[in-house]
Amino acid sequence: MLIGLARTSTDEQKAGLEAQVETLRALGVNEDHLFVEEASSVGKRPVLEEVLRFCRKGDTLIVTSLSRLARSVPHLWEIVQSLEKKGVALRILDLDIDTSTPNGRLMMTLVGGIVQWEREIMLERQRVGIAKARKEGKFRGRVPTARRQSTEVAKLKAEGIAPTDIAKRLKISRASVYRILSETGPCETEAR
């Protein structure tokens, strides 16, 4: 079954959305299998999530453009892997990629390799930067936010306030409250 996804991020792009819908219909996407999303690619994408749940083994998801599907190469790769697990092919019309073909799978594998390489290069640069900052005495790591409130946690506990309520007041996790209390002295466990 062919499943189509059309997306626009603003009301001003209605003409582009209509063109996507027309293209998908012309390819044979049934109206019941045509999903239209009006959302930014960086926010929540409920229609995309619905499409990914809707797809079944043997289906083909079609988009007119890569930019209508994913916000970044890692996001694309996440979608592709999700589709592969379900046995669903992906067609991206503007790139002429169809993962139901050997060439299409090759192209997606190359994209995946680039994603992995990009991630490893970024992590290597990060390690080099941290090592340099440590050497210069500038790197101290992330400051644990909950532990900075240890005095306040102990004070509230001494006032008889339950750990769950302490966590809510200080906007830290209940586990952090228990960790702080266990480090500062005996603590009664609260009923869950």
pLDDT at 40 over 80: no
- Which CATH number is correct for 147-184, 1.10.357, 2.60.40, 1.10.10, 1.20.1300? 1.10.10
Distance of CA 42 to CAs 39, 45, 108, 152, 159, Å?
8, 8, 22, 37, 44
* pLDDT per position as a tens digit, 51-92: 999 999 999 999 998 888 887 777 888 898 899 999 999 999
Question: Residue 119: its pLDDT value, please?
Answer: 79
* pLDDT per position as a tens digit, 126-174: 999 999 988 998 887 776 778 788 899 999 999 999 999 999 998 898 9
Q: Tell me the mean pLDDT in the region 166-190.
A: 80
Q: Which residue of the set 9, 41, 65, 150 is catalytic?
A: 9
Domain ranges of the chain: 2-101, 147-184
Could you please state the CATH topology (level 3) that the domain comprising 2-101 is classified under: Rossmann fold (3.40.50)
Please give the residue that has the higher pLDDT: either 103 or 185: 103
* pLDDT per position as a tens digit, 14-26: 778 899 999 999 9
Q: How far apart are CA 127 and CA 117, in angstroms?
A: 15
Q: Is the dihedral of CA 14, 15, 16, 17 positive or negative?
A: positive
Q: Which two tokens stand for residue 118?
A: 């990009």
Q: Which of 108, 124, 68, 90 is nearest to 3 (CA)?
A: 90
Q: Which two tokens stand for residue 161?
A: 């306030």
Give the CA count within 13 Å in the CB-facing half-sphere of 99: 27
Concerning whether 173 is annotated as a catalytic residue, the answer is: no
Q: How far apart are CA 123 and CA 146, in angstroms?
A: 27
Q: What is the pTM of this model?
A: 0.59
- DSSP strand pairing (2-8 vs 89-92): unpaired
Q: Which two tokens stand for residue 46?
A: 């409920």
Question: Residue 3: its pLDDT value, please?
Answer: 95
Q: How confident is the model at residue 186 (pLDDT cuts 50, 70, 90)?
A: low
Q: Is the separation of the CB atoms in 37 and 6 below 8 Å?
A: yes
